[in-house]
């Protein structure tokens, strides 16, 4: 980029958008010049607080403001077309999860950004720790993972709003709360050969059609396996993921990562607050843009497999049978995504499993 500071806008300032706004404002390499939210009063009030231009229409911000980048917390249904518009104007985008509601929507975004020569990145908080230790570095300490166990529990009360509408949300507890669990497993253990899932809503007549509970099993031909449980009517709230490898285990939590030896003793740990995680991701994205890098951290292309596994899980929940992500891509006439940072050698020796 020609400038040494990035002019940026924000789409969606409610919910996690507040933390994202603060992360963008705290980055010395970014000038926040506008923000937008469909709630006009909220947009005006927040814009007045931070001294930027308010919008209640996403398209107007994209078209009218001379921005280099957009930071987005608005859900996919609310801004999918606006992001493609941004891509056509060469505007780079960093967005909150999920990348999209399904693989077709995700693929359309990737094509738009490639055609526009712009970068698209997606949040990946599980990958960021403090003290200079990345999750990849910590995961290397346990060898190639062969089992993963993830739990994402939250206590969400009615009304669910758009999150209760399957068409707008793309799903419920799984895509909303457990997206990063699936993403971490896919990035570290590659695309599974088979996905089996069960979903359920709270008993009784409910004014929504998305699931409250999802149980997902990812299976691999080499015997590796991952299980994920997501529940949005649970208490206490928690998010955790454990990878088991031949030389130990790695436990991930929202603010901490720890390496455990085979005997359970903790050998290394790293900490990060939610605020520092947001800041680190935003700053890394900005620095990649300023450096003119051909790719950016957590590029959207690396999330295509995550979206595919989640869509396959929902398919399995409907059919009651195991389903194949590879077959899903074939049915959509899309190439099976490759994960450059995941070891694909199936001949690699696996640890003996009971």
* pLDDT score for 203: 67
Domain assignment present for 344: no
Residues 15, 94, single domain; the answer is yes
pLDDT at 256 (0 to 100): 86
Edge-to-edge strands, sheet with 256-260: 194-200, 213-219, 225-231, 147-155, 233-245, 248-253, 256-260, 266-271
Residue 194 lies in a domain: yes
Residue 257 · residue 270 · CB < 8 Å: yes
What pLDDT shows up at residue 159? 84
pLDDT band per the 50, 70, 90 thresholds, residue 214: very high
Residues 72 and 10 in one domain: yes
- CB-side exposure of 244: number of CA atoms within 13 Å? 16
Task: Please list the alpha-helical segments (H only) found in 117-201.
Answer: 135-140, 166-169, 173-177, 179-189
pLDDT at 354: 37
Question: What is the spatial distance between Cα 230 and Cα 199, in angstroms, rounded to a whole number?
Answer: 9
In this structure, what are the phi and psi dihedrals at residue 153, rounded to the nearest 5 degrees? -115, 135
What's the average model confidence in pLDDT over 200-221?
90
Tell me, yes or no, whether 196 and 141 share the same domain.
yes
pLDDT over 50 at 72, yes or no: yes
Among 36-40, 117-121, 179-183, 271-275, the minimum mean pLDDT is found in 271-275
Give the helix/strand (H/E) hosting 43: helix 40-50
Range 108-126 average pLDDT: 95
Tell me: pLDDT of 151 over 50. Answer: yes
pLDDT beyond 80 at 137:
no
Average pLDDT over residues 321-340: 87
- pLDDT over 90 for what percent of the chain? 76
pLDDT of residue 301: 95
Q: Which residue has the higher pLDDT, 132 or 104?
A: 104
Position 135 pLDDT exceeds 80 = no
Measured over the CA atoms of residue 138, residue 216, residue 186 and residue 276, the dihedral's sign is: negative
Question: Residue 225: which domain range?
Answer: 130-271+305-331
What pLDDT score was predicted for residue 209?
A: 92
230 and 157 in a common domain: yes
Q: Is there a single domain that holds both residue 282 and residue 175?
A: no
Give me the mean pLDDT over the 30-38 stretch. 97
My answer on whether 134 and 266 are in the same domain is: yes
| Coil, strand or helix at 338 | coil
Residue 174 lies in a domain: yes
| Residue 276 pLDDT | 78
Q: Is the pLDDT of residue 331 over 80?
A: yes
Pairing outcome for strands 213-219 and 225-231: antiparallel
**CA angle (189 as vertex; 186, 192 as ends), nearest 5:** 65
Residue 134: pLDDT over 80: no
Q: How far is CA 273 from CA 27, 249, 257, in A?
A: 16, 22, 11
* In contact, 267 and 257? CB cutoff 8 Å: no
More confident residue, 349 or 153: 153
Are 46 and 22 in contact, with CB atoms under 8 Å apart? no
| Helical pair 179-189 and 304-319, crossing angle rounded to 10 deg | 110
| Domain tally, the chain | 2
Q: What was the pLDDT predicted at 204?
A: 64
- The answer on 146 and 121 residing in a single domain is no
Q: How many residues does the chain have?
A: 354
pLDDT at 289: 96
Do 311 and 168 reside in the same domain of the chain? yes
Report yes or no on whether pTM surpasses 0.75. Answer: yes
259: CATH: 3.30.360.10
Cα 298 to Cα 231: distance, rounded to the nearest angstrom: 26
* Residue 342 covered by a domain: no
pLDDT at 174 over 90: yes
């Amino acid at each position: 980029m020609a400038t040494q500071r990035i002019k940026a806008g924000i789409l969606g300032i409610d919910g996690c958008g507040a933390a994202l706004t603060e992360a963008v404002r705290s980055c010395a390499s970014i000038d926040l010049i506008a923000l937008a939210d469909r709630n006009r009063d909220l947009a005006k009030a927040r814009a007045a607080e931070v001294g930027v231009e308010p919008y209640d229409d996403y398209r107007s911000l994209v078209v009218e403001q001379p921005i280099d980048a957009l930071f987005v917390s608005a859900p996919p249904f609310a801004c999918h077309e606006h992001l493609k518009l941004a891509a056509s104007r060469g505007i780079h985008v960093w967005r909150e999860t999920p990348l999209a509601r399904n693989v077709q929507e995700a693929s359309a975004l990737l094509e738009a950004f490639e055609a526009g020569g712009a970068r698209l990145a997606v949040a990946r908080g599980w990958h960021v720790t403090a003290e200079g230790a990345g999750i990849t570095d910590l995961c290397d300490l346990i060898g190639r993972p062969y089992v993963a166990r993830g739990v994402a529990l939250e206590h969400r009360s009615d009304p669910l709003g758009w999150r209760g509408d399957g068409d707008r949300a793309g799903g419920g507890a799984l895509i909303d709360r457990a997206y990063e669990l699936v993403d971490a497993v896919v990035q570290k253990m590659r695309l599974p050969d088979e996905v089996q899932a069960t979903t359920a809503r709270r008993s009784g007549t409910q004014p929504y059609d998305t699931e409250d509970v999802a149980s997902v099993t990812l299976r691999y031909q080499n015997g590796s396996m991952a299980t994920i449980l997501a529940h949005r009517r649970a208490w206490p709230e928690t998010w955790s993921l454990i990878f088991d490898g031949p030389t130990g285990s790695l436990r991930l939590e929202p603010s901490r990562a720890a390496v455990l030896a085979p005997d359970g003793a903790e050998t290394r740990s790293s900490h990060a607050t939610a605020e520092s995680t947001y800041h680190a991701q935003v700053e890394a994205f900005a620095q990649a843009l300023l450096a003119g890098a051909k790719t950016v951290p957590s590029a959207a292309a690396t999330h295509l497999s995550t979206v595919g596994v989640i869509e396959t899980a929902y398919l399995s929940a409907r059919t009651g049978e195991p389903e194949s992500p590879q077959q899903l891509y074939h049915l959509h006439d899309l190439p099976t995504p490759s994960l450059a940072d995941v070891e694909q050698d199936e001949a690699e020796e696996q640890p003996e499993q009971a």
